[in-house]
Amino acid sequence: MTDVISLSIASWDQPCSAAEQEYALRALEWGSVLLFPQLRFSIQDGESRLLSPTIAGEGKNVSLDPSSGTSRGSDADEAELRLLRSMMQRFATSSKTLLHNLLPRYEAGLQQARTSFRPVEIAGRSTSWRKDDTRLHVDSFPSSPTQGKRILRVFTNVNPHGQSRTWRLGESFEGAARRYLPSLPSPIWGTSHVLNLLGVTKSRRSPYDHFMLQLHDRMKADLAYQPEVAQSVHDFHSGSTWIVFSDQVSHAAMTGQYALEQTFHLPIDYMLDSSQAPLRILERLLGREMT
- CB 16 within 8 Å of CB 59: no
Nearer to Fe ion, 139 or 283 (CB): 139
- Please report which helix (H) or strand (E) contains residue 34, including its range: strand 33-36
Alpha helices in 43-190 (DSSP H): 78-102, 173-180
Q: Which of residues 153-172 bind ligand SIN (CB under 6 A)?
A: 165
- In 3D space, the residue among 277, 257, 273 whose CA is nearest the CA of residue 212 turns out to be 277
- In 3D space, the residue among 60, 32, 33 whose CA is nearest the CA of residue 236 turns out to be 33
- CB 125 within 8 Å of CB 60: yes
From the list ligand SIN, Fe ion, none, pick the one residue 165 interacts with, judged by a Cβ distance below 5 to 8 Å according to partner type: ligand SIN
Nearer to Fe ion, 50 or 249 (CB): 249
The answer to whether 139 contacts Fe ion (rule: CB under 5 A) is yes
- In 3D space, the residue among 214, 181, 191 whose CA is nearest the CA of residue 287 turns out to be 181
- CB 58 within 8 Å of CB 104: no
Nearer to ligand SIN, 63 or 192 (CB): 63
Least separation in angstroms between residue 151's CB and Fe ion is: 9
Count of residues in contact with Fe ion, rule CB under 5 A: 1
Count of residues in contact with ligand SIN, rule CB under 6 A: 8
Secondary structure class of 18 (helix, strand, coil): helix
Stretch that binds ligand SIN, among 7-15, 123-131, 191-199, 246-254 (CB under 6 A): 246-254
- CB 120 within 8 Å of CB 62: no
Least separation in angstroms between residue 155's CB and ligand SIN is: 6
From the list ligand SIN, Fe ion, none, pick the one residue 168 interacts with, judged by a Cβ distance below 5 to 8 Å according to partner type: none
| String marking each residue 103-122 x if it binds ligand SIN according to CB under 6 A | ---------------x----
Nearer to ligand SIN, 118 or 210 (CB): 118
109, with CB counted inside 10 A (0-12, 13-18, 19+), is middle
From the list Fe ion, ligand SIN, none, pick the one residue 253 interacts with, judged by a Cβ distance below 5 to 8 Å according to partner type: ligand SIN
Least separation in angstroms between residue 139's CB and Fe ion is: 4
Residue 49: CB atoms within 10 A of its CB come to: 12
Of the residues 121, 133, 217, 222, which one makes contact with ligand SIN according to CB under 6 A: 133
Q: Could you list the residues that contact ligand SIN (CB under 6 A)?
A: 118, 133, 139, 165, 246, 251, 253, 259
